[in-house]
Amino acid sequence: MFALVDVNNMYCSVERVFDPRLEGRPLVVLSSNDGACIARSNEAKDLGVQMAQPWFQVRHLQKTHGLIALSANFELYSDMSARMMAIASRYSPNVVPYSIDEAFIDFHGIHGDLTAQSRHLRTTVLQELGLPTSVGIAPTKTLAKLANHIAKTCDRKPGHYPQALSHRLAQVCNTTDLTATELEALMSATDVGDVWGVGRKIAAKLHAGGVRTVLDLMRADMATLRRQFSVVFEKTVLELRGTPCMEVEEAPAAKQQILVSRSFGKPVTQVDGIVEAVSEFASRASEKLRLQGSVAGALQVFIRTSPFREGDRQHSPSMTVPMRPTADSRKIVQAACDAARSMFRPGFNYAKAGVMLMDLREAQAIGDQGELDLGGSDGGESAPEPDRPALMAAMDELNRRFGRGAVRVGSTASALAADSGGASWSVRQDRRTPRYTTRWEELPVVRA
């Protein structure tokens, strides 16, 4: 048995935890540079605000309907997510985060009433964190994901499903508690596009073929589906029928490439600003690299002007740098900065930069080569400085304990100002709320 626990409208819900005045009001959270709506409260959805809709298209709703917009506060959201995952781990030894706001819980071997335990989990998260959640329970991950969708729909749109079922399944839906007739009623009222793994293109093709509901898909001919789509899609249908085809993974598969990039809040015209940004991106990419236990044999750095800014001259170079396989932030940052300096040209308004780590391999496969002191060469040149994994591990641990940026590579030090909007490359976050749980200096102060 699997459960999927999901925080409802997480970014908006987190903001409401620390500012109860937002409760019941239409609220959106904006992307980097305050460009688009990446999270919407139910009230904002009711106003017709779409996911990823540009802010300029809906900003008029501020005056007409009281719409509130906040800049994304990812540090706060990430910390609240970690706290939610920790609570979920009390209910099973095997909890795997699927995204920042949801996690799969493996209930295999867990005895007792799973529906009651899931309701207790939901109550605990609400009491300790103030976050509303929904839980879907089923014999397969695909069904659990769908059950979670049904639980949220029953809570928000009670008229979508039969009234008796909506009242019973709101917030927590366990498919094994349902009779065959009840389950068919739910599946026949759920669009096939709501199934995990069915994208818009596949949904459109299924609709054209007369497969409109989840029940239609479950009853469809498997051989025909396999011919028209893929083996992966066949597994999705098997999971809907109750046959497990996906296990809860202990860890996600290692990435083959790691990219950290960002558009700037304002044009960067000086080489120091470019180097500062690239330093920060390379440092973050290095941390992700170590987290998955890999080393990189090459990196690519790019800087770009904006093709949408009228009158600007265009310059968008990139450079790939081969390296001795490493996960040492000092070496990766140095290589990225050298590449950025060589590509920079004065007189251009740079709008974006990024660092991609490539040729990734398992660190264990490299062995201890990076620790060897090979001494000088016959030509008198000194050998490359060895990697210092213990130093990197200490830096990662301090950053996990005290917050990102507590310890940095020297060339990224000025990026500390980016968090308050001071760096030349920092994103626009005019509406960001304080990072209440990770920054002492941003804690609210109450004066008598």
CATH number at residue 127: 3.30.70.270
Lateral strand order in the sheet of 102-106? 95-99, 102-106, 2-7, 133-138, 172-174
Residue 352 near residue 273 (C-beta atoms within 8 A): no
Q: Are residues 52 and 163 in the same domain?
A: yes
pLDDT tens per residue, range 159-170: 888 888 888 888
Does residue 429 lie in a domain region? no
Does residue 383 lie in a domain region? no
Closest CA to 261 of 281, 233, 231, 232: 281
Does residue 64 lie in a domain region? yes
Structure tokens that stand for 120 in this block: 């207790």
Structure tokens that stand for 83 in this block: 């706290």
Q: Residue 147 and residue 72: Cα distance in Å, rounded?
A: 29
Last residue of a domain, one of 130, 152, 178: 178
State yes or no: pLDDT of 290 exceeds 50. Answer: yes
Residue 389 near residue 326 (C-beta atoms within 8 A): no
Q: Are residues 35 and 112 in the same domain?
A: yes
pLDDT tens per residue, range 26-85: 999 998 778 889 999 999 999 999 998 999 999 999 999 999 999 988 888 888 988 999
Region 405-427: mean pLDDT is 57
Q: Are residues 162 and 204 in the same domain?
A: no
State yes or no: pLDDT of 16 exceeds 90. Answer: yes
3 state SS of 335:
helix
Does residue 442 lie in a domain region? no
Which has the higher per-residue pLDDT, 141 or 256? 141
User: Hey, which bits of 114-170 come out as E strands?
Assistant: 133-138
- Report the b/e string of 353-365 with b at 16+ CB within 10 A: bbbbbbbbeebee
What is the number of residues in the chain?
Answer: 448
Q: Are residues 296 and 151 in the same domain?
A: no
Region 312-330: mean pLDDT is 89
Q: Residue 147 and residue 116: Cα distance in Å, rounded?
A: 16
State yes or no: pLDDT of 375 exceeds 70. Answer: no
Q: Are residues 223 and 122 in the same domain?
A: no
User: Hey, which bits of 132-199 come out as E strands?
Assistant: 133-138, 172-174
Q: For position 302, what pLDDT does the model report?
A: 92
State yes or no: pLDDT of 417 exceeds 60. Answer: no
CATH number reported for the structural domain that contains residue 346 in this entry = 3.30.1490.100
Q: Are residues 202 and 246 in the same domain?
A: yes
Does residue 210 lie in a domain region? yes
Number of Cβ within 10 Å of residue 7's Cβ equals 24
Q: For position 383, what pLDDT does the model report?
A: 56
Q: Are residues 248 and 233 in the same domain?
A: yes
Please give the tally of structural domains in the chain: 3
Does residue 399 lie in a domain region? no
Q: For position 74, what pLDDT does the model report?
A: 84
State yes or no: pLDDT of 116 exceeds 90. Answer: yes
Region 345-358: mean pLDDT is 92
Residue 435 near residue 76 (C-beta atoms within 8 A): yes
Q: Residue 35 and residue 29: Cα distance in Å, rounded?
A: 10
Spatial neighbors of 51 by CB under 8 A, at least 6 apart, are 37, 38, 40
Share of the chain above pLDDT 70, in %: 88
State yes or no: pLDDT of 126 exceeds 90. Answer: yes
Number of Cβ within 10 Å of residue 307's Cβ equals 10
Structure tokens that stand for 128 in this block: 């300790």
Lowest mean pLDDT among 72-81, 88-97, 379-388: 379-388
Q: For position 69, what pLDDT does the model report?
A: 96
User: In a 10 Å sphere around its CB, with 0-12 CB exposed, 13-18 middle and 19+ buried, how is residue 333 labelled?
Assistant: buried
Q: What is the mean pLDDT of the chain?
A: 85
pLDDT tens per residue, range 224-268: 888 888 888 888 899 999 888 876 554 456 677 888 888 888 899
Does residue 441 lie in a domain region? no
Lowest mean pLDDT among 310-319, 420-429, 431-440: 420-429
How does residue 340 score in pLDDT terms, banded at 50, 70 and 90? very high
Lowest mean pLDDT among 2-11, 90-99, 147-156, 208-217: 90-99
State yes or no: pLDDT of 378 exceeds 70. Answer: no
Residue range(s) defining the domain that contains residue 341? 258-366+409-420
Region 316-325: mean pLDDT is 87
